[in-house]
Structure 1
Amino acid sequence: MNRTGVFVCWCGSNIGAVVDVPRVAEAAAGFTGVVLATHYKYMCSEPGQDTIIQAVREHRLDRVVVASCSPRLHEGTFRKTLARAGLNPYMLEMANIREQCSWVHRQEKDKATEKAIDLVRRAVAKTGLASPLTAASIPVTRRALVIGGGIAGLQAALDIADAGHEVVLVERESTIGGKMAMLDKTFPTLDCSA
């Protein structure tokens, strides 16, 4: 059985002025697999992160849902928090209740709250299907293939070579230069293009 913790952020008044945060946490407490649902003013702050770490350890959580701002802003923060708590950092799901609820439904507080509850419900369900991941790295051969010996291809090949990488340039014609090599004169100096 999953042991999910749900942490709802007020984000100061960004979320809390529109979404009924305690109501979202109360609803989340009843979702399948949720053993803890709580809220805090600024979940991304050090005390907020410490709340998550302590809860993971005390309640033996194996997955976490954070309902707050965009994952683009703080997903890395919360993944590091889970790692510090001894939990796989990929057992995190974020519900974006700031941009998707409070910011777009500022005049509809009840609807914003209901939508936030739905987003948290979906995040909890998604974590129920999650499995731990591990970070991997793949070796890269520092060599580039440039297809086309026109002006753009030549410049790309030169830039890559200047960066210290081997370049293989492939051109289907017998000469390089592309369309530029076919011009008699170039503007504005009327110099020979070849």
Structure 2
Amino acid sequence: ASARNSLITKKEYPLELDVINQEPRIGVFICHCGINIGGYVAVPQVVEYTKTLPNVVYAEDNLYTCSQDTQKRIVEMIKEHKLNRVVVASCTPRTHEPLFRETIREAGLNPYLFEMANIRDQCSWIHMNESEEATEKAKDLVTMAVAKARLLTPLKRVEIDVIQKALVIGGGIAGMVSSLSLAEQGFEVFLIEKEKELGGNLKHIYYTIEGRNVQRFLRRTIEKIKNNRLIKVFTGANIESISGYIGNYETEILLANGTKEKLKHGVVIVATGAQEYQPTEYLYG
């Protein structure tokens, strides 16, 4: 639908500062994360060390750097010390990097003039019984983050056209249900199955533990697939190559009759099933 990924009101940001030709002025905010980091890493010691690093003009520690109060403080410190790069040493960027990028953007900085050092997952949590070593490692991680921040340049987000079609690999029940779900949302689907007919492993199962008829369910699902005009099924087909990137892929398939066909699509769902891995290393097997 056209309303996807849209907001009722668009957030307003201040004009982005032009810092491209400025000498890096880096601010570093080091988090205690309660006792998650502060209980094992000597955070004040890391702060004092950080102040000696090249281009670091401001450094401080925070009990919780992700708190709303600290976000406001980061904005204030960016303005007060004319910071043009920001480093946060705290937990994982996987969950918190978007928050901090948003914060520095609110201060007028490009959101990509930001770097994180993960001194929780990669330091305090794995060195709980080695406080001195954990502290030294935290210094190293911060040093690396500052070195990278020194080289950061502003980036611009660009929008690219996305092919509004999906490729589903595997014609078992998972692949078929995925295809139907996408088609019900209005997207075209290419469903690829290497066998001559759909069904996968479900073809060999007749009843559930509760006594429900699996084959009847399978037949109904296959019928829905065949009757859906948005789903194009290729049975007896194999994938020769996939190229491209998210939103714009091109896949070449080898059909049962020996001819090849190229499909253009925006996403890929891999529903080919799996095999149990039986390791032989590390005394397994």
TM-score, with length taken from structure 1? 0.82
Tell me, in whole angstroms, the C-alpha distance in 2 between the residues paired with 1:143 and 1:132: 33
**For residues 6-63 of structure 1, what are the alpha-carbon distances to aligned partners after superposition, in whole Å with 9 as ceiling and x for unaligned?**
1111111111111111110111111111111111111111221122111110111111
Partner of 1:84: 106
1:98 to 2:124 alignment: no
8 Å contact 1:11–1:43 — kept in the other structure?
Answer: yes
1:27 to 2:26 alignment: no
Tell me, in whole angstroms, the C-alpha distance in 2 between the residues paired with 1:131 and 1:61: 14
Compared CA separation, residues 147 and 6, structure 1 to 2 (3 A): closer
How many residues are matched?
Answer: 187
Partner of 1:50: 72
8 Å contact 1:43–1:49 — kept in the other structure?
Answer: yes
Tell me, in whole angstroms, the C-alpha distance in 2 between the residues paired with 1:179 and 1:44: 48
Tell me, in whole angstroms, the C-alpha distance in 1 between the residues paired with 2:145 and 2:197: 54
Partner of 1:140: 162
Tell me, in whole angstroms, the C-alpha distance in 2 between the residues paired with 1:131 and 1:172: 47
Considering fraction of residues, name the structure with more helix: 1
**For residues 54-105 of structure 1, what are the alpha-carbon distances to aligned partners after superposition, in whole Å with 9 as ceiling and x for unaligned?**
1110111111010111112211111111111111111111111112221111
The alpha carbon displacement at 1:114 in A equals 0.3
Partner of 1:13: 35
Compared CA separation, residues 144 and 98, structure 1 to 2 (3 A): closer
Q: Percentage identity across aligned positions?
A: 48
Q: Indicate the larger mover: 83-92 or 159-168.
A: 159-168
1:60 to 2:82 alignment: yes
Compared CA separation, residues 20 and 186, structure 1 to 2 (3 A): closer
Partner of 1:177: 197
Q: Name stretches of at least 5 consecutive residues in structure 1 with no aligned partner.
A: none
Partner of 1:165: 187
The alpha carbon displacement at 1:179 in A equals 8.5
Compared CA separation, residues 158 and 105, structure 1 to 2 (3 A): closer
Q: Give the superposed CA RMSD.
A: 2.9
Tell me, in whole angstroms, the C-alpha distance in 2 between the residues paired with 1:12 and 1:169: 50
